Every structure is written in C-alpha cells, then in structure tokens.
Structure 1
Amino acid sequence: MHTLRQRAPGLALTFALALAAAWLAQQPWVARWGLSALTLAIVGGIVLGNTVYPTLQGPCGTGVDYAKQRLLRLGIILFGLRITLQQIVQVGWAGVLIDVVMLSSTFGLAVFAGRWLRIDGQTAILIGAGSSICGAAAVLATEPVLQARGDKVAVAVATVMVFGTLGMFGYPLLHPWLASLGVSDTAYGVYVGSTVHEVAQVVGAGRAVSEWAAGQAVITKMIRVMLLAPFLLTLSFAVARRGVRAGAHAPTAAPAAAAPTVAPMAAPITATGPAADASARSRIVIPWFALGFVLVALLNSLPLLPAAPKSALLALDNLLLAMAMGALGLSTHASAIRRAGSRPLALAALLFVWLVLGGGLVNALLGHWGR
C-alpha cells in the first residue's frame, strides 16, 4: 500500500495526460494531420515537463518512472492484439519480403549514417527503429533494451512525427504519377504500409486514395509491427556485444567494463567463457515483453478471443502506451533536445528520403509494379 501511495500521484498525472491526448487525437482538425495519441501524449508531457512539472516531481516522480518502465512493457505486449497470421498470408510473401528488406536497409542506413553524422549510438538506433518499423511505438519498445535517456527518446519520437506527417500528405500526391506507371491500389497500399512511419499516418495516406489501398497499407504495416519482436531480440544481443547502452557515443563503441542495470521484465544472461572475454562483454538483456508480444499475436490469430474483451484490451493498450509516452515527455527537458542539435533531424531526413525513393525501388523490384 505504501508503494501504491507513492506511485499514485505520478500515475494519475500520466493518466490525465493520456486521456487528454486520446480526446485530442479524435478531434477532426487533429485527425487530419495523422497525429496519434502517443505523439500528442509525449508533446503534452514535454510541455508540462518544462513548465509546471518540476514543482510536482517530488510527489510524482515514482509513478512517472513506473509508467515509463512497467506500463510501457505491458503496452508493447498488448500491441500484439493488432496483428494476425492471417493478415500476413493475405499480403503474401512478396509483401513480407518487402517489409523485411525495408526494415533491414533503413535501420542499417541509420546506424551507418549516424556514425558519419557523429550522432551517439543510442539516438541513431532509436531514430532508425522509429523510421524502419512502427514509429513512436518502436522507439518506446527499443528504449528498454538500450536503457536510453528520455531526451533521446523524445528526439526520436519528434522525428517520427515530423517526417511521418510529411509522408502522410506527400504519398497521395505521388499516386497519380504511380498510377500512370500501372501501379494498382493494392501495390500503392503495400508501398505506403512498408515505408510510412506511424499506423495512423499509413491509414491517412491510404484512405486519401481508396479504402482498398488503406486496407492493404494497414495489413502491410502490421507485418512491419510484427517484425518488432525479432528486431528487439537481435538488438539485445548486439547491444550486449557492442555496448550501446548509456554512455555509448557510437553504435560500435567499446562495451563498458561493468554490466549495465537490467531493465524490469528483462532477464540477464551473463556471457560465459574466459575471464577476459566475460569482462569485455555486457549482459544480454532478453526483452521478455517482445516474446509476450509474439505470443499475444499468435493468440490473436486464433478464434478464441471474443470481440468485446479484445476491444477493451486494445483500448487499455492505447491508454498504457499513451501514459508511457506522457511519462517520457515529463522527463524530457527542452535544453536536452536543443543540445541534440540538427544532426538527428538530418539523419531522420535522410531515412525519409530512402523510405520514399529506395522504398519505391524495392517495391517495384519485389512487388512487380505495373504487372
């Protein structure tokens, strides 16, 4: 009870932020911009975090930290309710392959260009995850593996918001030209789903053309979301070997001598072997919430969950993720974002150009445009 009383003020604050963001996201003038409740929650959190929250941090800090950690992981697990294996079959192997190629190439470009731009490894990885997978939700899911600071998460989410919104309005403008090349609404939907950042932005870019295009875009996007779990597992092993947690300045920086603190809901596995090798490696963090995400997606593929409970769980998931985003925003100071400079924005812009142009090339080669 004592712990609950400590967490209650902070949880109440993040709950209020989440409700306000959800209400605002449903307003027509906001919905036109494709801004999700997650994005609005972190923006609201940043505003409060740099105005009135410093005076409330004493009583609210424990609950805000809890929302950033435990509620975040639970929200990622429930995110699996948005995906089924049947959706993957519907798009076909070409759509799955396009998603895999776009995720791998975009994230690889983020790591490579991040070194060239001299961006610290954590920020480059967070921006790469958000651009290559599913926007703010991917940034949130990657943060526990990296144990990154809130300001780096906020910078990554901001880039998703800027370039994802740009894509939502820009892709429909490309459609008449693509149609003249013989690109069908189905192919256009796969193109949008495999390259646009956020789910809400994918819906906006698809519906601007047709409902069928929107449906194909969302299914393709959900496959990208499902790839989040293997991505996190792979990243966790890479982090353990290369040390991209707190204090690292490049994705290939040498690992710290001391093992980092293991995040909640993650299990440490100490590297084995000679003492010299053991001291040169970090602990591997198994992101159990990623495995839970896969299990929930598999469960969702079976006709076992009634519609009403599933709808309630999806609403709960939206709430939990929005609370986590609000908590991250509250912990973010504008001075830290200013210190990040223009380089993260340049990296995100480069990734956006690749998603549009390179994504078009990949879709043309693997999706058989015009055939």
Structure 2
Amino acid sequence: MNSPMLMNWNQRTRELLPGFVVSLIVAAAAGFLSEHYSAPVMLFALLLGMGLNFLSSESKCKAGIEFTSRTVLRIGIALLGMRITLDQIAALGWKPVVLVITLVVVTIAVSVIAAKIMGFQRVFGMLTGGATAICGASAALALSAALPNHPHKEKATLFTVIGVSALSTLAMIVYPMIANWFELSPQAAGIFLGATIHDVAQVVGAGYSMSTETGDTATVVKLMRVAMLLPVIICAAMITRLQGPSSTGKQPPLLPWFAVGFLLLACINSTGWVPVVVQGGLNELSRWCLIIAISALGMKTQLKELASVGIKPILLMVGESVFLVALVLMVIHWWF
C-alpha cells in the first residue's frame, strides 16, 4: 500500500511535470539556436518563452511553469557558488560593497520622496524603491509583509511585482547594450549589471550573455544587493512597530536560501578540495537550471497587464530604474 507521503509526492510530480517539460523543451531549443547562430542562449530562451506566454495560463502547465521559474531558478543560482571563490570576492575590493550600500539607501530614499511628490503613499515608494534597489519581486513581497497595513498596500504590491518583473526582463536585453556602448571592461560591466538589474535571474542572464567574467562579477555584486534585504526589512519592521500592528501573514525569510546556498558553495569551492570533474558537472547543471528557469520566466511575462494601472506608477518605476542606471554609471566612471 502506498503511503500518504508517496501519494502526495506522485500527485505533486504529475502537477508540475507538464510545465517543467515545456520549459525544458524551450531551453533545449534555445541551446540549439544558440549553437547554430552564435547568439546568447539566455536571450533565445527568454524570447522563445515569451512566444509561448499563453501556456502560463493553461491549467496543466501553470503550476510547473511557476515552480520552474522560482525553485529551479534558485537551485541554479545557489549552484553558481561553485563558480565563485572567496578570493574572487576579495579581488573586487571594498568599493563594490560601499557602492551597493550607497545605491540601496539612496534609491529607496529618492523613491519615497518621488512617490510623495507624485501623490502616492510612502508605502508605494518604499515598495518600488526596494524592488528596484535590492532584488525585484522578492524584495517587494518581503517588504510588503514587513510594512504597516494600508488599504492600498496589496494593489501597490501587485503592481510593483508586475512592473519590476517587466522592467527587469527589458533590462536583461538593453543593459548589456549600454555596457557595450560605454565600452566597459568585463569587470566594470559585471558591476554595472549586478548593481542595476532588478531580479537575480536577469542579472545572471545578462552577465553570462556577455562573458564568464562579467557573469561572475555581476552575480557577486547582485548577491551583495540581495544581502541588503536583511537590514532594509529590519528597518521596515521597525516602522511597522512604530506605526501600527504587524502583518498577520507569514513573514518571509530575511535572507533568501539561495543566497545562503551560494555563499556556502563558494566557501566549499574556495577550499580547493572539490574535484574538477564535480565542479564542471555542477557548473553545467547550474547553467541548464538557469536556461530552463529563464524559459519559464519568459512564459510568465505579462506586459499587457501594465496598461491597466495608468501611466503615473509606470513613470515612477521607470524613473527609479533610469536614476539607478545613471547613478551607477557615474560612480563607475569616477571611482572604478
């Protein structure tokens, strides 16, 4: 007789398999096109996924696409730790750390002020600023749970998640072009991409579409931004305690597990004890996890939904992104 746990596992597998298989097929097609046309596989995966956007609303594929775009993505990012050593992080020096802290504080502060000037509540500026400055939709959801209750908080959170996901997808395509136009070095390009693109997946896609060095640097800088989620959420929690009762929903983790996994694997890799064969195998597994996940992210992209929320919130988020790009380029020019 099958145990309840085994039955639940089998049911969950059947539920997730269609969406995962579709994402896998799109990733394989992207790999084929990349090999034959010498273009970035991440970009092919994203565009092919967007072409199959209708599948994300199919009941049979929806759960699997959601799982692939979140869990498989995070597994791939955690495994990227096997590409990084603590020596590489140290080689970046103290400047990127100071850069990341400054960017997060300044961007959130400017976003809150801009939101107030445009007639929005401060909570909306905090959500959009945090999503832009830290780690996209994950930061928006985490901040939403930590901020004080507000009648329009749920709507603001929904728009922020949709808006930052769409802008991050666009940034994955456009920002490498900006890096090439300014003739940034591989490391400077990595710092630029890691410090400006909203979501981790698109940072990885944009970085490794340029070069391995750029991708490695962008990933490290981006995870520095992700780590800033901890102090920002602590500040949001303090605001909550001062202004009203805490959220009744489940509190999100202060630091995403994939960032912790990335750091642990980087520490293990830094020992030099990992065999080259194992390291290569895990790197290839990580690469395919990310390609498959970006295929699913493409299928989830719903740009048409932005049209229903009006122009002012879109202008605020676009303005925040442009401000962040200009600030990072200025700092790179004068400081790096």
The TM-score normalised by the length of structure 1 is 0.63
For 2:261, the equivalent position in structure 1 comes to 292
| Alignment correspondent of 1:7 | 12
Identity of aligned residues (%): 22
Contact in 2 for aligned 1:150/1:328 (Cα 8 Å) = no
Counterpart for residue 361 of structure 1: 330
**TM-aligned CA distance change 1:338 to 1:221, over 3 Å:** same
Deviates further, 291-300 or 337-346: 337-346
User: Does the 8 Å contact 1:25/1:36 carry over to 2?
Assistant: yes
Q: Select which of 165, 174, 179 maps to 2:173.
A: 165
User: 1:158 and 1:199 mapped to 2: Cα distance?
Assistant: 16
**Number of residue pairs matched by the alignment:** 311
Q: Distance in 2 between matches of 1:40 and 1:64?
A: 15
Of residues 141-150 and 286-295 in structure 1, the stretch that sits farther from structure 2 once superposed is 141-150
Which of 213, 219, 223 pairs up with 2:220?
A: 223
Q: Give the Å deviation of 1:155.
A: 3.1
The one-letter amino acid paired with 2:279 is K
Indicate how the Cα distance of structure 1 residues 189 and 47 shifts in structure 2: closer, same or farther if over 3 A, else same.
same
- After superposing the two structures, state which structure 1 stretch, 346-355 or 315-324, moved more: 315-324
**1:94 aligned partner:** 95
After superposition, residues 297-312 of structure 1 pair within 5 angstroms as: 297-312=266-281
**Structure 1 segments unaligned to the other structure (5+ residues):** 176-183, 208-213, 244-251, 267-284
Query: Could you state the TM-score of these two structures normalised by the residue count of structure 2?
Result: 0.69
- C-alpha displacement of 1:12: 1.2
| RMSD between superposed Cα atoms in Å | 4.4
Tell me the CA shift for residue 6 of structure 1: 1.9
CA distance in 1, matches of 2:39, 2:329: 26
- Deviations along 1:202-261, one digit per CA (max 9) or x if unpaired, are 455x66xxxxxx83x445423312314522322442443446xxxxxxxx9956555212
User: Which residue of structure 1 aligns with residue 28 of structure 2?
Assistant: 23
> What SS does the corresponding residue of 1:234 show, helix, strand or coil?
helix
Cα distance, 1:70 vs structure 2:
5.2
> Superposed, which structure 2 residues align to 1:120-159 within 5 Å?
121=123, 125=127, 128-129=130-131, 131-132=132-133, 138-139=135-136, 141-142=138-139, 145-146=142-143, 152-159=160-167
Distance 1:151 1:13 in 2: 28
1:169 CA displacement: 1.9
Q: Report the Cα distance in structure 1 between the residues aligned to 2:128 and 2:274, rounded to whole angstroms.
A: 33
Who is 1:313 aligned against?
Answer: 282
Instruction: Write the mapping of 1:174-185 to structure 2, written as runs, cut at 5 A.
Output: 174-175=182-183, 185=185
Determine helix, strand or coil for the equivalent of 2:249. Answer: coil
Letter of the 1:299 counterpart: I
Over residues 292-327 of structure 1, what are the superposed CA-to-partner deviations in whole Å (9 max), with x where a residue is unaligned?
Answer: 332222223221222333333344445555666666
Structure with bigger helix share is: 2
Question: Which range is displaced more, 190-199 or 157-166?
Answer: 190-199
Contact 1:34 1:200 survives alignment (8 Å):
yes
SS at match of 2:136: helix
Distance 1:47 1:220, change over 3 A: same
AA aligned to 2:249 is P
1:147-296 superposed matches below 5 A: 152-175=160-183, 185=185, 189=189, 192-193=192-193, 195-197=195-197, 198-202=203-207, 215=213, 217-242=214-239, 257-262=246-251, 266=253, 285=254, 287-296=256-265
Go from structure 1 to structure 2 and tell me whether the alpha carbon gap of 1:140 and 1:72 turns closer, same or farther (over 3 Å shift): farther
What is the rounded CA distance, in whole Å, between the counterparts of 1:120 and 1:20 in structure 2?
Answer: 43
Any unmatched runs of 5+ in structure 2? 1-5, 146-153, 198-202
Mark the CA change 1:11 to 1:19 in structure 2 (over 3 Å): closer, same or farther: same
Match of 1:280 in 2: none
Counterpart residue number, 1:270:
none
